Every structure is written in C-alpha cells, then in structure tokens.
Amino acid sequence: MTDTFSSLNIKQQEAVCSEGPTCVVAGPGTGKTHVIVMRVWYLVSKLKVDPREILILTFTRKAATELQERLFTIVNKKITAKTFHSLCFDILSAEHQTPHIIDDQERDRIIRLIRRNRGIKQSVRDLTLRIAHNKHNNQQDEIVEVYQSELAKRGLVDYEDVLLHTKKLLSQKRNAHLFPYIFIDEFQDTNTTQYTLVKQLLQKDNLFAIGDPNQSIYAFRGSNSAIFSQIAEDFPNTNTITLDINYRSQKHIIDVGSCLFPSAPKQAPFSEQNDGETVLLQTENEFSEAHWVVEKIEQLVGGTDLLQAGDNAYKEHSTTFRDIAIVCRTHYLNKYIEKELSAKGIPYQKIGAQSWYNNPRMVLVFAMLRYIQRPSYQELFTLISVAGTGLSQKARNILTNNYVENPETFRLLSSQLPKQDQVRIQTIEIKLNALRDKGQPLTLSQLIGTCWEMTGEGQTEEEQLYLSLVCHIALQFEKNKQPLQAFLAHLDSLADHDYYDSTIDAVSVLTMHASKGLEFKHVFITGFEEGVIPLKRAGEIEDANEEKRLLYVAITRAKEDLYFTYTKQRNKIKRSVSPFWALLKKSGCAQEMIDPKIAVMEKKRVK
C-alpha cells in the first residue's frame, strides 16, 4: 500500500482514503484522473468493494474510455464508466424504451420552422439553449410545447429528453438506487437534472464528486458552479478536500491564471522549472497576427525545414506540432491563421464546432446509416434534405420548411418540385433502397465505406482523417458483435462533439470551450481583444464570470509558454486589448510586446 501511495501527495491521499460523501476541488493539472483511479483501486483492493457496485460518470466518451482502460490496468477488473447520456440510454433500453435520438441537423430544421411560423427573432442557437434550459427547469414555455410536438410527430427525442425520461422512470421505481458508490468527474459541469439522477442512482451516501468551480463553462447547458455548495446541503457530513499541487504548468502560467480568481485556493508548481514565457503581443491586423503566430510556431519546432530534411531530424527536436495549440473564443478569428498554416505546409487539426461529427460528408453518412437502420419516409425526407446537393434553391426551400408524416405527403411534396429535382430525388431514393437491401450482409465498417463512396468522389486529407476515425470506432463495435443500432446510439449519445486525436502530429486549432481537458506545451490565445473575450453578442457582453472562467480554462492548458495576441484593427475596425489583461498583468510574469513591423512603422510616423 505504501509503494502504491508513493505516487500521491498528501492532499491526494486524503481524497483517495476519504470516507463517506467527498467533494474534491481539483484545479488544472492537479492529478484529478489519477485520484479517481487510485480511489477506485483503494475501494476494490483494500476495502474489498465489488467492482459492480461502482459507477463513474463523465461528460465525454474519451474520458470514460481513458478511465476504463487505466482502471483495468491497475484493478484488473472492469469498472463501469459512462457519460450521463450513455448511462441513461442504457437504462431506458433495459426497460424496452430505447429512444431514437434526433440529430443536430433535424433539430435545427425544426427550430427554423418554429422561428418562421411564429415570427421569432431569436437565433436558432439561442432558441436551442432556451428550450434546453426551460425543459431542465420544468418552466412553462409555448415554444417548448411546439418543439416537443414536432419531435413526437417524428417519434424522436433529443439529448435533454433522454435525461428527463430516465429521471421520470427512476422516480417511479422503488429499487432505483443501483450503485453504492458513484463518482462524478468534472462535477462543475453537472446540471440539476444530472445531479438529481445521481441522487436517484446512489444507494448510500458514497458520492465522490471531483472538479473545479473555476472551470464551470457550460452555463448554456444548465451547469452551475454553485452546485459544489449543493452537496454540503444534501450530504451534511461531506468531506471537502482541495488539491493544491499543479503537475502541468510552470509557475508563471499558474500565477497568470490565478490573477483571475485571487480569492481561490493557491496552487504550487510541482516542478521548479520556470524557463517559459508569457507574452502579450500587439499586431497591426489579422494578417500580421497570422504571420507572427505561424512564424513563432516554426521557431518552436525548429523550422519547417526540419520536415523537409527528413523525419528523423524533425523527431529529434524537443517540440513537435502536436505540442502546440492555437486557442480562440470563436473559430472565425483563426481563418487567416489557418490559411497561413496551410501556406507554410504546417499540419493542423480543427477541433470544436467543425469536428468530425459535424463534417458535412459525415453528417450525410450518418443519415444514410439511420435510414438503413430505420427505413421510413421521415428518415428518407430528412436524408434528402441533408443531401440537398444538386437540388435547386426552390427545392431546398420547400424541403427545409416542411415535414413529411407519411408516404402520401412525401409524394405530394415531391410533386411540387421542379422536374429535374423530382428525378434527382428518385435517384437518391433508388440508391438508398438498394443500399438498405444490400446493407445486411456487410460489416459495419464496409457499410460506412459504401455510404462514404455515395457521398461523392475524392476526399481531402481532413475527410480521410474523419473516415478513418469513424471506421476505427465501427471496428470496435464489430469486435464486440454489436449491431448498427448500437453504433448509431453510441454516436447519438455523445455529449461532446469535439473529437480530438492526440496521435496526430499536427497543431491543434480550437475554441476555448473545446480546449477543456487538454494540455499543450505551447498555447497561443489569439484575438485577445475587447468584444471578443469577454464576448459581446448584439452589443451585450455574455455572462462576465463565465467568460472569465472560459479564459482561465484556455490559460491553464499551457505547460511552458503562453502567448496572447491582439490586433490594432480587425476587419478594418479599431481594436484594443481585452479588459481581462488588467487582471492578468498583476502577476508580474507577463511581457508586453509590439510586433516589430508596427514598431518600425511607428518610428517612421514619429519622424
């Protein structure tokens, strides 16, 4: 036991051996996952707890998979680790209530219909958030009622419904308490529905909640950092422990981040190494920003000439492309940086809103697979709407603004389209039906490959990566002899659509939200400007505290170097540095710089 515990610091040991309900405040880099793994090991190996009595809940499939793999290595037994959505899907399926989950494209189409019919000015995004918020809080809303009616017509549910239906089911069952020990990873991201589910599933008071209230960045999903105080109310004998050693970041990065929350518990760096830098750079515009960032990346990896010199020369350098991240508040800010990366031949992967899950060709493949699994005119109509390439604008408008309830309305709607569009739709229908008939003897990965070929010829390097990823997931389902339905359910149950592949040697270009849970040696925070962070929408600042936490997440991804960039003008509009800089520079660790090209221009202007 002593040897095993030697990998833990004093606070981590307290957390691992804590009795009863435990709340662990684990800031960035404090070894959160290691504590969870060692806590399970302690329960199973020392307290002789049956592994089947343990449930670990996470918010991403990646986190669940990583925990299962690490736990199997140390405990040599399978531990249940799932996302909330995956667990709820399994519970409903066990009760013969297997849900058919709506995809994002169909959901957005329904919301656009509601906007048009009701004359609502709110954006699709804002309406989506409003619906989710009011559903979880059981607030009366006519828009929610209309939305739910549209889902019912299609025999579909959304992600919120999966949680809510499970909560209702468990409230009706006397023996709902299924697990004596429940862990919640990233507890700060838990909303009220998820927290209620945990209390319904928990047999005793052995709740182990671990997370960081300063990294609560999903208010739009209903999460609230105040949920940490809720535990103390529900479990009066809760043991609260704060992990205080940061194993990830150098001291200057810890100090910069802590300036955002001066009253929060202080962290100490594990390593004395502090040779990195924190820099704020002002550039002339978005073009010079892109040039400086990419030039700096070349310096960090030793120049792209190493790539040309050969693979061995590149690998011998201490920094590789996968060690670098470019983080922004919204993806549009990095448009010119992406162009500059491409121009210099630097590989990069884009994470966030435009991840593999939302890639247009992948969306089409998933729609085809759903039609094969559940052939119906509703599915066919949705697929044709998604696969609108080749249809006239008139046809697209008609398809987008209508819904098919039966074959008759489908034929009636099709007859209203121009002749060439009718022919196009018939061709799609024939191909899909042929694929459906052919689909049964094919393996899942073969079926995906066939669907992919139907979406068009050729593929970009990025698309090739996406296809490989999905086929890799499919092979796991084939290995376990799980059917297409299970594969689709797995895709639908993913709460996070920001798939990050750490095996790819490429610079990561991602949003602040997508950066959560990741770490890199060198981090660039671009577009660090007023109106961007904190973000303004329609002239109004988003929740300032949430924006501050979002910046904190971005800062604490860095291990060694941290670079902030902002422009004098962006899109020909005058810009200034983010007001958050006034807090960050109090650390005394940050160096302010001006792009040398600006300095030269300023000298000329003065003369």
Give 311-332 pLDDT, tens digit per residue.
544 445 589 999 999 999 988 8
| Closest C-alpha among 536, 513, 540, 512 to residue 526 | 512
Successive 10-residue mean pLDDT values, the chain, 607 residues:
74 96 95 95 95 93 87 89 92 87 81 85 83 84 91 87 93 81 94 92 93 83 79 92 96 95 90 92 94 95 62 60 94 88 86 68 83 72 61 72 63 81 79 71 85 78 73 84 84 56 82 91 97 80 85 97 96 94 90 76 51
Give 544-602 pLDDT, tens digit per residue.
889 999 999 999 999 999 999 999 999 999 999 999 999 999 988 888 888 877 666 55
Query: Among residues of the chain, what percentage have pLDDT more than 90?
Result: 41
357-492: in CATH 1.10.486.10: yes
The domain covering 252-354+500-606 belongs, at the CATH homologous superfamily level, to P-loop containing nucleotide triphosphate hydrolases (3.40.50.300)
CA dihedral 505, 507, 512, 514 (to 10 degrees): -30
Strands 202-211 and 179-185: parallel
**Annotated domain spans of the chain:** 2-94+166-243, 104-156, 252-354+500-606, 357-492
Specify whether the CB–CB gap between 575 and 530 falls below 8 A: yes
- Whether the domain at 2-94+166-243 and the domain at 357-492 fall into the same CATH topology: no
Q: Two tokens at 131?
A: 């619906």
Strands 179-185 and 80-83: unpaired
Long-range contacts of the stretch 446-455 (C-beta < 8 A, 24+): 447/369, 447/372, 447/484, 448/365, 448/369, 448/474, 451/364, 451/365, 451/368, 451/369, 452/361, 452/365, 454/368, 455/361, 455/364, 455/365, 455/387
Helices (H), 155-280: 159-171, 192-201, 227-234, 251-258
* Interatomic CA distance for residues 75 and 41, integer angstroms: 6
* Interatomic CA distance for residues 331 and 349, integer angstroms: 12
Classify domain 2-94+166-243 by CATH architecture.
Answer: 3-Layer(aba) Sandwich (3.40)
Give 249-304 pLDDT, tens digit per residue.
999 999 999 999 998 888 999 998 999 999 999 999 999 999 999 999 999 998 76
**pTM for this structure?**
0.78
